[in-house]
Structure 1
């Protein structure tokens, strides 16, 4: 099947099996060598990518779901200004994920930050993964339970959830301060 999508800012037309997982497409067809995919579909969470700005397990996303999608891997994300907010939060807390899950946890945090800085007050269900996507309400508060659910996409135990929540809160503060200065 032919699939038109954007991967790391490049418009691509791929001819792949409709059920081929995104992780294999990225490794075999696109040549991404940094994607960590050890579990081969068992959900370890080391193959996280941003699919339309949502963190997803790339080993669980079949090719047919990629039509007209925008995929961003850690390779391209780490070159953005948004990455700096998360990197600053890691340094400020003195906690950093291990090398095996660093990329995935960083992309999960970015997905959370996208949701928390989103101006839509309603909650929506994601059709790709069936997970609850949360957005900030009018008071811009957020629910730790939803954040923990999102952070649980990566099963590495190198950090506990309280450390991860602290990183999300700090990165969110950095992101919001940037928005205030820009306006």
Structure 2
């Protein structure tokens, strides 16, 4: 099967089996060195990529779902300005994921930050809730969604409260950048 997609900013045309998992495509066909897939499809979370800007387990995504997709691996993500927000948050808290899950947890946090800074999502939440309860409910919904998203990686090197703190601090950095640009 021929698949057209963008991986790390490069438009590619790949000839692969339609059921071949993205993790193997990245390792074998693209030569990516940062993807690790120790679990062989059991969803440990160490093979996270950004698929159309959302965190996704690359070991369970078949090739046929990649048509016209934009895939970003940690290898290219760490060269972006957005990466610096998360790096600074790790430094500010004094907590950093272990080397086994560092890349995937960082990409999960980026996915969360993109969702939280998206004005579309905030407007949708606000329009569906009573006016006086909007802020309180948004925080609760966000926290639950953040915990669920962070659970994509099963490594126990950090507890959830540490991860939430990192997300909050990185979000503060990200929002400051957006205010300066406007």
TM-score by length of 1: 0.90
Partner residue, 1:173: 172
Alpha-carbon shift at residue 33 of structure 1 (Å): 1.6
Give secondary structure in 2 for the equivalent of 1:156: coil
Residue of structure 1 in register with 2:53 after alignment: 53
Name the SS for the 1:97 alignment partner: coil
Q: State the partner residue of 1:150.
A: 149
CA distance in 1: counterparts of 2:150 and 2:181, whole angstroms: 29
After TM superposition, the structure 1 = structure 2 runs for residues 157-168 of structure 1, keeping only pairs within 5 Å, are 157-168=156-167
Q: Distance in 2 between matches of 1:34 and 1:119?
A: 31
Whole-angstrom distance in 1 between the partners of 2:24 and 2:88: 32
Distance in 1 of aligned mates of 2:124 and 2:70:
23
Name structure 2 gaps, 5 residues minimum. Answer: 126-133
The CA RMSD over aligned residues, in Å, is 1.3
| Number of aligned residue pairs | 169
Equivalent position of 1:129 in the other structure: none
Kindly provide the CA deviation profile for residues 33-57 of structure 1, in whole angstroms up to 9, marking residues without a partner as x: 2211100100000000000000000
Q: 1:68 and 1:93 mapped to 2: Cα distance?
A: 38
Matched, 1:122 2:124: yes
Which position in structure 2 is the counterpart of 1:84? 84
How far 1:81 moved relative to its partner? 0.3
Match of 1:64 in 2: 64
For residue 181 of structure 2, what is the aligned residue in structure 1? 182
List, as ranges, runs of 4+ consecutive aligned residues in structure 1 with deviation greater than 3 Å: 138-142
Partners of 2:162 and 2:36 in 1: how far apart? Answer: 23
SS for the counterpart of 2:124 is: coil
Deviations along 1:66-87, one digit per CA (max 9) or x if unpaired, are 0000000000000000000000
1:139 shift after superposition: 5.1
Give 1 or 2 for the bigger CA radius of gyration. 2
1:32 paired residue number: 32
Structure 2 residue aligned with 1:133: none
Secondary structure of the structure 1 residue equivalent to 2:37: coil
More helix by share: 2
> Aligned equivalents of 2:34 and 2:109: distance in 1?
19
